[in-house]
Amino acid sequence: MTQFIIDPAQVEQHNANQRGALQADYDALGDMLSRRGVDIEALTAKAQTFAVAVPSWGVGTGGTRFARFPGVGEPRDVTEKLEDCAVIHQLTRATPTVSLHFPWDKPADPRALRQQADALGLGFDAVNSNTFQDQASQAHTYKFGSLTATSQAAREQAVAHNIDCIELGKVLGSKGLTVWVGDGANFPGQSNLRGALERYIDSAKGIYAALPADWLMYIEHKLFEPAFYCSVIADWGTSFAVAQQLGDKAKCLVDLGHHAPNTNIEMIVARLAQFGKLGGFHFNDSKYGDDDLDSGSIDPFQLFLVFNELADAALRNPAFSPAYMLDQSHNVTDPIESLMSSAVEVQRAFVQAALVDRTALAGFQEGNDALQAAQTLKRAFRTDVSPILAMARLRAGGAIDPVAAYRASGYRDAVAVKRPPKAGASGSGIV
């Protein structure tokens, strides 16, 4: 029996108040879609299959290099983070898993953490390693890199940390390790560009060798920051080459914020899918760089175009199932509200992409009718599928309007009392 954090009677009350209006909107949309030959019920069933993992580090207020302005009732440890993740899933029914980050989330007792997650109806998605910060207890600094450091001792320490993450993940029931390193250089000439990548591949082989047979290793690239002249794993080409070198269990992870402005991310997605190396996503949105803004808040059309490629890839290969994770920083909102809204925005793009008339699109592409091809995509993108998403939530036991139900529940006020802030919780943040 799942242990619900918010009283289900409160969610039922919220739904009872909204159900009539939702049904009317759903019926109207159903009529409109049936005139287009689309069965709304099939789309709602598809929406219910959607799942995206919540990043444990997203439930606290993020921050920038300049400051962090914590909110009230922030989770103080991994067990409290799981409680917040359970609220997000209870209301959205779209986030059944959590992606942990070590050592930030290192549990005192991993078995007990897994039991807590089970009780809350949650599982664990990929675990993330952290060799982009030094920990108080570690012997060798990552100031000049981790998996690519010129210091062999630092490299070995970074490999060992990744293997520890795998071991913890095994106990938790995770099936993947995401590796992102901040390694790179701030000056031309600071590092040998080829030598650094050779060291990366050599270290990554040591991690890959420790992967269980049914695990994947996700290689996450990032154009810049913290290194500002060059990052070792800067782009999808490098990540692809590394994944090729490592083997079948190594795949590329696309964080939507980790590209130069105006990069055609959907084309990267298509390329990686074509060659069987698309492992998963970190969803977020951005205007300028790696802004870590809420998914779909700046460029929902780009998100839709990404899912349009994923829908195409899934048609070609029904076994295709990349891992979906959010990776955002919430600086001015309640993180639970941002994560719920973002999960729904990603789910929206997933459903809109399922609405694309692929036969018509293929015909327009074949006939070089650029205008109608573009209109075919726009038609799906412009369709307001909100009633489908709300109905999918309602049928799965979630809330018709997750943010409204959350606010009505008084959860944040309740945890503000239970979780007094830790001393020194402000300062600069990181995501």
**Interface ranges with ligand PSV (CB under 6 A):** 57, 128, 180, 220, 222, 255, 282, 290, 327, 430-431
Binding mask 11-50 for Mn ion (x = CB under 5 A): ----------------------------------------
- The yes or no reply on residue 292 touching Mn ion (CB under 5 A) is no
Helix boundaries (H) for 253-384: 265-274, 300-316, 335-354, 358-366, 370-382
- Residue among 15 and 128 whose Cβ is closer to ligand PSV: 128
Calculate ∠ Cα 293-294-297, nearest 5°: 100
- The yes or no reply on residue 285 touching Mn ion (CB under 5 A) is no
Residue nearest to ligand PSV as judged by C-beta position: 180
Using CB distances below 5 to 8 A depending on partner kind, what does residue 222 bind out of Mn ion, ligand PSV, none?
ligand PSV
**Nearest approach, Cβ of residue 5 and ligand PSV (Å):** 25
Classified as helix, coil or strand, 194 is helix
Neighbours of 291 (CB within 10 A): 16
Q: Which of 327, 334, 345, 401 binds Mn ion (CB under 5 A)?
A: 327
Q: Which of these ranges, 21-29, 199-207, 255-263, 304-312, lies near Mn ion under the rule CB under 5 A?
A: 255-263
**Nearest approach, Cβ of residue 91 and ligand PSV (Å):** 24
Size of the site for Mn ion (CB under 5 A): 3
CA distances from 378 to 91, 302, 369, 371, 382 (A): 30, 12, 14, 10, 6
Distance in angstroms (rounded) separating the CA atoms of residues 47 and 82: 24
- Residue among 93 and 259 whose Cβ is closer to ligand PSV: 259
Using CB distances below 5 to 8 A depending on partner kind, what does residue 203 bind out of ligand PSV, Mn ion, none?
none
- Residue among 50 and 57 whose Cβ is closer to ligand PSV: 57
Neighbours of 143 (CB within 10 A): 10
Which pair of structure tokens corresponds to residue 66? 């300049």
Which pair of structure tokens corresponds to residue 11? 């969610």
- Residue among 310 and 326 whose Cβ is closer to Mn ion: 326
Neighbours of 175 (CB within 10 A): 18
CA distances from 14 to 9, 54, 188, 340 (A): 9, 24, 59, 16
- Residue among 47 and 185 whose Cβ is closer to ligand PSV: 185
- Interacting residue ranges for Mn ion, rule: CB under 5 A: 255, 282, 327
